[in-house]
């Protein structure tokens, strides 16, 4: 009965216009991704399997088997990929609609963690290049969490940016990003840095920072206590005006730190771009 029902459903889906069917796939994909914990992103899932002991062996001995194993892992997370009639179409929508960001933290226990994160992205590109689906690849990149609170990030950033810059040459502009998470005075904030030659990274991210600040100010106008933690000992915290002043000062300090990191990352990218121009001349 279940097989007949599934067959009937598949036949009805086939009769739908492609645009409607793809819209349905995007909704199913988002629902499936939302069902996982916040840390269990697609990038986190892929990274864990790309460097499992099984894959470490297969990639050195049996490349075709390694890539089929990776596809089996994807089918386990998104079962419709295994559909004979709709699997390829569903996979294309998955690649286009979901950012595949490898969390660098996954590999920090390994000595060459930066290389491993970069290798994951290269294997991901190679996988779909060999399958003839590279044109469907959406945004990919690396994810750095709590950037300003980890001292090693300052030494990590040049290698990460350069690695992503090299990868960006294999894809069309705008495909490669580095997403950075900053711990502001109020909440975690995410900013995406476009990576690649000719990208206006500095302008794009500074505009995003300014927009985040405008949203913050709007929230504080609507709720004067927004961003102020409930004190354990109210009598020691002082009046509301004092707490608001402290909140705003901490916010200003956070934004200054984020802008500083943004300028540092942008400088690294501009230096890499200038090297390309010099080599061409």
Q: How confident is the model at residue 157 (pLDDT cuts 50, 70, 90)?
A: confident
Rounded average pLDDT over 1-6: 46
φ, ψ of residue 189 to 5 degrees: the values are: -125, 135
H or E stretch covering 254: helix 240-280
CB 141 within 8 A of CB 178: yes
DSSP letter at 189 equals E
Per-residue pLDDT of 20-62, as tens digits, reads 999 999 999 999 999 998 888 999 999 888 877 888 888 888 9
Domain boundaries, the chain: 1-98, 139-281
If we measure between CA atoms, which residue out of 154, 177, 155 comes closest to residue 165?
177
User: Has residue 177 got a pLDDT over 90?
Assistant: yes
Q: How confident is the model at residue 279 (pLDDT cuts 50, 70, 90)?
A: low
**pLDDT on residue 206:** 95
If we measure between CA atoms, which residue out of 112, 234, 114 comes closest to residue 164?
114
Exposed (0-12), middle (13-18) or buried (19+): which is 206, by Cβ within 10 Å?
middle
Q: How confident is the model at residue 235 (pLDDT cuts 50, 70, 90)?
A: low
Q: How confident is the model at residue 231 (pLDDT cuts 50, 70, 90)?
A: low
**pLDDT on residue 184:** 65
Tokens of 92: 């294309």
Cα–Cα distance measured from residue 172 to residue 95, given in angstroms and rounded to the nearest whole number: 15
Whether pTM > 0.85 for this model: the answer is: no
H or E stretch covering 102: strand 100-103
Q: How confident is the model at residue 1 (pLDDT cuts 50, 70, 90)?
A: very low
């Amino acid at each position: 009965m279940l097989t007949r029902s599934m067959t009937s459903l598949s036949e009805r889906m086939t009769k739908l216009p492609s645009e409607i069917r793809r819209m349905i796939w995007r909704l199913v994909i988002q629902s499936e991704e939302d069902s996982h914990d916040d840390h269990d992103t697609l990038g986190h899932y892929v990274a864990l399997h790309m460097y499992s002991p099984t894959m470490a062996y297969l990639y050195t001995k049996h490349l075709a088997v390694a890539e089929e194993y990776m596809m089996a892992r994807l089918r386990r997370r998104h079962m419709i990929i295994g559909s004979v009639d709709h699997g390829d179409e569903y996979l294309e929508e998955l690649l286009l609609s979901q950012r595949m960001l490898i969390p660098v933290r996954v590999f920090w226990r390994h000595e060459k963690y930066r290389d491993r994160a970069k290798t994951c992205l290269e294997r991901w590109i190679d996988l779909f290049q060999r399958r003839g689906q590279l044109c469907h690849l959406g945004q990919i990149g690396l994810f750095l969490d709590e950037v300003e609170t980890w001292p090693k990030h300052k030494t990590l950033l040049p290698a990460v940016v350069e690695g992503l810059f090299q990868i960006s040459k294999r894809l069309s502009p705008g495909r490669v990003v580095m997403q950075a998470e900053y711990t502001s005075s109020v909440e975690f904030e995410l900013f995406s840095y476009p990576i690649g030659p000719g990208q206006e990274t500095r302008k794009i991210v500074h505009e995003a920072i300014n927009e985040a600040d405008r949203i913050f100010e709007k929230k504080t106008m609507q709720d004067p206590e927004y961003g102020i933690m409930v004190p354990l000992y109210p009598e020691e915290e002082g009046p509301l005006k004092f707490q608001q002043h402290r909140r705003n000062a901490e916010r200003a300090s956070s934004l200054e730190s984020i802008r500083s990191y943004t300028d540092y990352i942008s400088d690294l990218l501009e230096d890499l771009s200038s090297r390309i121009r010099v080599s061409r001349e």
